[in-house]
Structure 1
C-alpha cells in the first residue's frame, strides 16, 4: 500500500479528491492491481466517502466505521487483482466487500457481548434442554453452510446478499449490476435447491 497514511478526516463530510471523473473505476482498479499508487489514491478519493457511508449505516459507531473503511480500502489495495469486471462493476465489488466487513464487525461485537454475558452466568447450571438446543442449532448452521456450497456461485451470491446481509432484491440487482428479473430467478432457483438439500417439506 502507498507509504503515506491516508486520513479519513473529511470522508464523512463527502470530501472530493478531485480525481479525473472520466477514468472508469474499473480502469483504476486494474492499474491498482499492477501496483499503481497514483491510481489507488484516485480510487480511494472516489470511493472512500461511499464506503464510509455504507459502513456507518451498518456499524453505527463513527470511530469503528472509520476503522472498517480503512480496512476495506487496504483490502482493495491488496486484492485488486482478484477483481473480475465480467462479474460486475468496480464499485459494486468494493461495496460488497465493505458491507461484508461491516457485518463482520457488528457480529464480532455481538459475539463479544455474548461471551461477557456467558461469563457472568457461569455460576448458573445450564439445563439439559438448553444444551440440546445449542447443539441442534450448531448442527443446523453447519448443514446450512454445507447446502450453500451446493449452489452455483451466482445463486449463492444472491442468496447471501439478500438473506444474510439484508439487501432487498433491487439492491442486490444494483450491487451485482444485473436485471432485477435475473436476481429473482437466481433467488428462486437457489432457494429451491437449498430447500431440497435441507430436506424441507414443500
Structure 2
C-alpha cells in the first residue's frame, strides 16, 4: 500500500474517532506540517501551538476529507497553512499593550554589517529569480506567501479559477526553487 493510500485510510479511520489511527497519522505527518507552519510563522513556540490547533482541526474535520484523487497531504498542508495564516492575522490585529521600560532589552536590534551584506546578497538573488517569473505570477506568489492571501482572494484578484491559481502558484514555486538552487 502506498503512503498516500495509507494516509487516506488513517484519515478515514480518524473520521470515525479511531485514536490509534489518529496517533499514527500524527507520527507520519507532524514533522512536515510543523515545517509548513514554521515557515509561515517563523517562530518555534507559536508554531508548536498552531500545530496543536491543526491536529485538533484534523481530528474534528477528518470526515470532511474526500478521497477524490487528490493527495491527502495536500489537504493536511492546506489545513496547517491556513491555521498559521489565521494566527498571523490575529497577531496583526491584537493590541500590543503597555510595555514596561524595564522589560525591554537594551541590545541594538540592528543586524551586524556582515548579516546585512548576506541579507542583501540573498535579497538580490530572490529579486532576480522573481524577475524570471511572469509579472502576474510573481505578484500572486508575493500576495499568497508574504501577505497571506487565500487562493480564493487571488483567483478573484487575477480573474482566474481557483484551480488555475493553485497551478500558477505551484509552478511558480518550482521555478523559484530551481532558480535559487543555481
User: Is 1:170 equivalent to 2:171 in the alignment?
Assistant: yes
Task: Summarize the Cα distance change of 1:45–1:171 in structure 2 as closer, same or farther, 3 Å threshold.
Answer: farther
2:43 to 57, 61, 70: 61
Cα contact 2:51–2:80 (8 A) shared by 1: yes
1:95 equivalent in structure 2:
77
1:33 to 4, 8, 15: 15
Task: Summarize the Cα distance change of 1:157–1:116 in structure 2 as closer, same or farther, 3 Å threshold.
Answer: farther
CA RMSD of aligned residues (A): 3.4
- For structure 2, list consecutive stretches of 5 or more residues without a partner in the other structure: 98-151, 175-182
1:76 to 54, 58, 61: 58
SS of the residue corresponding to residue 56 of structure 1 reads: helix
- For structure 1, list consecutive stretches of 5 or more residues without a partner in the other structure: 1-20, 118-143, 174-202
Measure the CA separation in 1 of the matches of 2:79 and 2:39. 15
Measure the CA separation in 1 of the matches of 2:83 and 2:9. 24
In the TM superposition, what are the counterparts of 1:95-134 in structure 2 within 5 Å? 95-112=77-94, 115=95
Query: Offset at 1:100?
Result: 0.7
Segments ≥4 residues shifted beyond 2 Å: 155-159, 167-173
Task: Summarize the Cα distance change of 1:157–1:100 in structure 2 as closer, same or farther, 3 Å threshold.
Answer: farther
User: Is 1:156 equivalent to 2:162 in the alignment?
Assistant: yes
Query: Offset at 1:156?
Result: 2.7
Measure the CA separation in 1 of the matches of 2:71 and 2:46. 27
Measure the CA separation in 2 of the matches of 1:84 and 1:46. 19
Measure the CA separation in 2 of the matches of 1:53 and 1:44. 14
1:51 to 18, 28, 33: 33
Cα contact 1:29–1:40 (8 A) shared by 2: yes
Cα contact 1:158–1:172 (8 A) shared by 2: no
TM-score with structure 1 length normalisation? 0.49
TM-score with structure 2 length normalisation? 0.54
SS of the residue corresponding to residue 88 of structure 1 reads: coil
1:121 equivalent in structure 2:
none
